[in-house]
Amino acid sequence: MARLLQQSVILTGNVFQPMSLKAKSIAGAFFSLSANGFAQIINFIVYAIMARILGVEEFGLVAICLMVVEFCNLFVTVGISQNLIQRKEWDNDFASLSFWVLMVVSAGIAALIFAVAVPIAYYTYSELAAQLIAALAIIPISNGFRLIHKSKLEREFQNKKLAAYDTAGVIIGGIVSVVTALQGFGAWAIIYGKVAQSVVSTALTCAKSDFRPQKVKDKSHLPEIISFSKPLIAMSFVNFFSQKTSNIVIAFFLGAATFAYSSVARQGFSVINNLTFQPLNRIALAGLARVDELRLKKTFNRIVSMTAIFVTPIYFGIGAVAHPFIDLVFGDKWTSSAYLLSILAIMAPTQVMAYYLPNLLISRGLPGQAFKLNMINLVVNMALPIMAVPWGLYAVIVALVVANYVTVILKFNVVKKHLGIGISDAIKHTWMFSLAGFTMFASVLYLERMHVLPITNVFLELAALVGIGAIIYGLILLLFFRQKTFSVIGELKRNPMPKKVVKDNQVEA
C-alpha cells in the first residue's frame, strides 16, 4: 500500500491525491458494510415473519430450494468480477467479453437447474419443490446480467449507489414476500420476494452504470478469464460445502420439516456472523498483510482477543435465551429450534479462534494452505454429522459442535507448521472470555429453564435474561480477569492495525 501511494505521489506531484483515493476506499467499504448490515436486518425480519406465516414443511422446502440456487450462483458471482476490479485499467472490450461469458454461464446454470435440480426435487420431495426451484432459475441469470455493471461502479468507488440499489432490492423483495404470504400464496411468497429482490437490484445497477456490452470479435482474452476464475470458483465451491455440510446432511437424510427447524436455529448465528465476523475479517486481512513476520503472532493475538471479548458473549448469550427468543421472534411452533440453538452456542470459542485463519494464511501468500483449511472443514463437518444421522436431528447438531472442536485443532496444526501460531496461542488470549461466556450461558439457561424469574410476559423475560447475562459476564471479567479485560479494551482506543510511517515522498499506509 505504501509503495502504491508513493508512486501516485511521484506521478502526480500532489500529496493530497493518494489520500483522496484512500478516503474513497474507506467510504466505499463503509457503505458496503452498512448496506450489508441493513440488508441482514431486513432479511431477518422478513425471515421471522415468513416463519410465522408458513407451515414448517413449506418453510423447510423453500429453505432447501434457496440453498440449491445459492450453490448455483457461485459459478456466476465468483471470479470474473474480481478480475475486472483488480485490472489496472478498464477495457471495454475485455468487459464485454466477460459479460457474454457470464451470459453463457448463467444460461448454462439455468439449464442445469432445469435438467438436474428440478427432476431431483420432483422425485425426492414433491412437485411443488420442483416448481419452486424452476422459478428460482431466473436469479442466476439476473445476477449474471448485473455483475459487470456492478464491477464498473465498484472500480469508480460508487459503493454508495450500489448500497442504495442493494437496499432497495432487499426492501422491495421483503415487501413482496410478506404481502403475497398474507394473501395466501404460501411457499411461493418467498420465491416471489427473492426474484423481485434480484430483478430490482439488477435493473437499478444496469440503469445507472455507463457500461454497455458490445459485440465482441476478439476472444483472445478468454483464456485469461477462465484461468483467473477457475481457482476462485474451486475455493468458493469447497467453502460453500464446508459451511453447508450439516444443512445438506439434514436436508438429504432427515427431510424438509426437520431442515426447517435447523434453518431457524441457525438464522440468529447467521446474522451475528454477517454483522460481526465479516466486517472484522476484512479489517483483519488488511492488518495482517501489513505486519512483518516478527509481529504477526502478536497482531493475530490482538485481533482474536478483541473479537473474543465482544463476540463470545453474543454467541453464548443467544444460546442462553434461545427459548424466549425463538418464541418471541418466530413463534411457539419452532420450540425445537430453541433446543438446537442452545446446543449450537457451545461452539462459540471455536468460531472466535478459527475464523481468521484462512485470511491469516492468505495475507502471508499461502492460499494453498487456506484452501487446505476449507478441505478440513468439508471432510470433518461432513463425516461426523453423517455418522450421527441414525440418532436424529439433535445428534447431528451435537456432532456438528464436536466437529468444530476437532477442526479447530487440525486447522491450527496447519497454521503452526507454516507460521508458528498454534492453538495454544489462541487459547491463551481467549480462554478467559470463553470461560466467562460459558458461565453466563449456564447461569442464564438455568434461570430460564427452571422458570426462576417470576415473569410471564415473554418480552419482559427476554429483556431480564439479557440484562442478567450482561451483568454476570461483566462481573466475571472485572472480578477475575480485570487486567486482561482492560488491556483488550485499551487496544480499541488505539488503531488495532499497525502502521508503517515512511519519510520523504512516501505517505503513511
What is the C-alpha to C-alpha distance for residues 237 and 42, in angstroms, rounded to an integer?
Answer: 27
Residues 6+ apart with CB under 8 A from 94: 84, 87, 221
Say how many Å lie between the first and final Cα of the chain, rounded: 6
Is the torsion defined by CA of 54, 57, 60, 66 positive or negative? negative
Coil, strand or helix at 421:
coil
| pLDDT at position 234 | 72
The per-residue pLDDT for range 426-452, each reduced to its tens digit, is: 999 999 999 999 999 999 999 999 999
| pLDDT at position 285 | 55
| pLDDT at position 48 | 86
The per-residue pLDDT for range 78-128, each reduced to its tens digit, is: 666 666 666 677 778 888 888 888 888 888 888 888 888 889 888 887 888
Answer for the pair 300, 356: CB distance below 8 angstroms, yes or no: yes
Q: Is the pLDDT of residue 12 over 70?
A: no
Q: Is the pLDDT of residue 464 over 90?
A: yes
Domain ranges of the chain: 30-220, 248-496
Burial class (CB in 10 A: 0-12, 13-18, 19+), 215: exposed
Answer for the pair 496, 287: CB distance below 8 angstroms, yes or no: yes
What is the 8-class DSSP label of residue 163? H
| pLDDT at position 467 | 95
Q: Is the pLDDT of residue 502 over 80?
A: no
Coil, strand or helix at 491:
helix
Among 250-254, 283-287, 296-300, 331-335, name the one with the lowest average pLDDT: 283-287
C-beta neighbour count of 305 within 10 angstroms:
22
Per the model's pLDDT, the better-predicted residue between 7 and 455 turns out to be 455
pLDDT bin (cut points 50, 70, 90) of residue 362 is confident
**pTM listed for this prediction:** 0.80
What is the C-alpha to C-alpha distance for residues 32 and 437, in angstroms, rounded to an integer?
Answer: 31
| pLDDT at position 507 | 35
What phi, psi does 88 have (nearest 5°)? Answer: -65, -40
| pLDDT at position 282 | 57
What is the C-alpha to C-alpha distance for residues 442 and 420, in angstroms, rounded to an integer?
Answer: 35
Highest-confidence range of 81-95, 211-225, 335-349, by mean pLDDT?
335-349
What is the C-alpha to C-alpha distance for residues 90 and 157, in angstroms, rounded to an integer?
Answer: 13
What is the C-alpha to C-alpha distance for residues 308 and 438, in angstroms, rounded to an integer?
Answer: 12
The DSSP annotation for 220-239 comes to: TTHHHHHHHHHHHHHHHHHH
**58, 385, 428, 462 from 456: Cα distances, Å:** 31, 37, 41, 10
| pLDDT at position 410 | 95
Answer for the pair 95, 211: CB distance below 8 angstroms, yes or no: yes
What phi, psi does 412 have (nearest 5°)? Answer: -70, -25
Angle, alpha carbons 8-11-14 (nearest 5°): 70
Q: What is the mean pLDDT of the chain?
A: 81
